Chains A and B, each alone.
Chain A
Amino acid sequence: MFGPQTHSEPSNGGFLSQKTNWRRITSSNPTTSATTITTITKKANNLSVKFQDLYGFSVEGNIDDVNVLNEVRERVRQQGKEWWALEASKGANWYLQPQHSSSGEGLTVPSKLTAIANTITSTMTLKKLIRKGIPPVLRPKVWLSVSGATKKRSTVPLSYYNDLLVAIEGKVTPATMQIDHDLPRTFPCHPWLDTPEGKAALRRVLVVYSFRDSDVGYCQGLNYIAALLLLVMKTEEDAFWMLAVLLENVLVNDCYTDNLSGCHVEQRVFRDLLAKKCPRISAHLEAMEFDVSLVATEWFLCLFSKSLPSETTLRVWDILFNEGAKVLFHVALAIFKMKEEELLRTHQIGDVIHILQSTTHHLFDPDELLTVAFDKIGSMTANTITKQRKKQEPAVMAELDQRLRRLNSVKMDEK
């Protein structure tokens, strides 16, 4: 499942030197060292181990989990070497905006075609490479580029973020009050997020965003996403732009606004896809009257950050920013698919949830999940999903509208 990866490995100091940079914010997190085991407690026959994962989160698992995590660390290092090798052969930053190479005006038709072909090759190489994971030190640069955040930022003055920071100073709104309430409740055990500095940075990103888009304001769930973005991007301004591009371009509209209608749409699409891609599971769960949204809602709203281990979540995000929101469906379907036989044996809702939760909790090997997500689930084009969404939108709107009317009639009765 996670055999050794055999890449040629030209030594490259870049990875290490940039790592120092990375340490600035997480302070406690040696990406390359072996897993630090904090405590081991013996529970019956199972050894339960507490350890820190690649992004400084404390997790509890068994010895196997620790071994897997160490193996993943090694693979992250190998994958880094592959990126450096490509940088050496294709030039630094080759992966940033590969489409620019095709903008040669005045070229002859054949050379234009060559340029286009080169771009396509570049895009394909990048897609493959990103599916295998972006090294943590390169994530900020690559994410900003492939997601379109850089482009988004370029449309406003350079001082945009700082101007907003000044504008929000001392302002109290329902959003800021809710943000303040959630700050200490966002990954409370993380060594950096739990510091005053960490909380202040998270607060600024969330508050500034709530002013940028008052329709979204603050929605619970964004706290986890913004926190993880901060850990990856290292500067809050970059984290802010990633949050903006995510909500405004990458995800479906209205996932986090008012009545979460976008989220309702995604859940309906997901139910249909499960019926199509995993018909046995879907039929079995339906017979048990188990609505998959009961568990999948959190996955979609937090983009798996609350359920999957951090490096696994970020591997999903690597693909999310490069290929779009369809990866969320791939991954959600894969979690069910991986446990098909076990799920088919369940008779109680509690057992279904237990299987899904323990699966996601122990998914320390991102490739195990992503192999199923792409190879076993099969392809789904963005177009198919867009069509499905269009199909579901009227039903969601009607349902939410009907609900609102019923609730209003409750209020009328009161009078």
Chain B
Amino acid sequence: MASIGNNSLNAKLVLLGDMGAGKSSLVLRFVKGQFLEFQESTIGAAFFSQTLAVNDATVKFEIWDTAGQERYHSLAPMYYRGAAAAIIVYDISSTESFERAKKWVQELQKQGNPNMVTALAGNKADLEDKRKVSTEEAQTYAQENGLFFMETSAKTATNVNEIFYEIARSMLFLGVLVSFTSTPATGLWCNGQSIWKCNRISHKSSKEELRTE
């Protein structure tokens, strides 16, 4: 449980993207600092948690790493429902995976929570000689769609911690906004309660939950 008086958030984060783009590898690198050449294919989804300290605040990520095969698409809403953040992953050596990433972006824009912090990760950045998606193209797309963009490599650990750190920072910023404006839409959590829930039930148990910002 988060300590009282600290700025501490619990945030649901979901990873989406084509099969083999490296979603599980990114999570494994971030959570355990490991990399496996052959990462077992994920079925349904796998859960991880990891806490990050950002300045004087902490963000505890509850990470849902989803299965990439197209037919698993129908299960995705269960995992992105109520998520505060999403990382959409593609493989820089596969144009198909970039196209699929765009579809995920559209879907989240349409169905996801409107305050969701969304990042686009061009993974396998170590495979420069096999690159099919240029940095500029992805960067432009990300800007047009209000996404935060980084090229990552789970293999070499490039930008892996950074992308999660940036998401945490954006969320803390957003979290402060949300708790001031009481928007009951986001999936940000504080002290084990989602903020909007805290606001709604604040008349009952206000002391702890509201002292987060």
Contact = CB atoms under 8 A, between A and B. Distances in A.
Interface residues of A, number: 45
A406 B45 contact: no
Contacts of A301: 43-44
A220 B82 CA distance: 26
Given A294-B47, A294-B79, A407-B107, A259 B39 contact: no
Q: Select the residue from B10, B36, B39, B69 with max chain A CB neighbours within 10 A.
A: B69
Contact of B43 (A178, A224, A264, A403): A224
Given A220-B72, A403-B77, A186 B41 contact: yes
Given A297-B44, A301-B44, A181 B74 contact: no
A252 to B, nearest CB: 16
Interface residues of B, number: 32
Contacts of B125: none
B202 interface: no
B153 to A, nearest CB: 18
A400 interface: yes
A221 B49 CA distance: 24
A259 B79 contact: no
A14 B40 CA distance: 37
Interface string B26-55: 000000000010111101110101000000
Nearest to B47: A353
A294 B43 CA distance: 11
A258 B69 CA distance: 11
B203 interface: no
A119 interface: no
A393 interface: no
A219 B71 contact: yes
Interface stretch (A24-32, A43-51, A58-66, A342-350): A342-350
Contacts of B20: 181
B62 interface: yes
A188 B71 contact: no
A259 B106 CA distance: 19
Contacts of B106: 410, 414
Contacts of A34: none
A184 interface: yes
A69 B48 CA distance: 28
B205 to A, nearest CB: 13
Interface of A is mostly: helix
Interface of B is mostly: mixed
Contacts of B10: 348
A384 B188 CA distance: 41
A182 B42 CA distance: 10
B4 to A, nearest CB: 16
A289 B194 CA distance: 11
A184 B38 contact: yes
A219 B69 contact: yes
Contacts of B71: 219, 256-260
Given A219-B71, A410-B106, A306 B19 contact: no
B111 A406 contact: yes
A185 interface: yes
Given A347-B192, A349-B62, A297 B75 contact: yes
B67 interface: yes
B110 A185 contact: no
B74 A298 contact: no
Interface in A178-230: 178, 181-182, 184-188, 219-221, 223-224
A294 B10 CA distance: 18
A87 interface: no
Interface in A233-266: 256-261, 263-264
Interface of A: 178, 181-182, 184-188, 219-221, 223-224, 256-261, 263-264, 289, 291, 293-295, 297-298, 301-302, 306, 347-350, 353, 357, 400, 403, 406-407, 409-410, 413-414
26 contacts: A181-B20, A184-B38, A185-B38, A187-B40, A188-B38, A188-B40, A219-B71, A220-B43, A220-B72, A224-B43, A257-B71, A258-B71, A260-B72, A260-B74, A289-B82, A293-B78, A294-B79, A297-B75, A298-B45, A306-B40, A347-B192, A348-B10, A349-B47, A403-B77, A407-B107, A409-B110
Interface of B: 10, 19-20, 36, 38-41, 43-45, 47, 49, 62, 64, 67-69, 71-75, 77-79, 82, 106-107, 110-111, 192
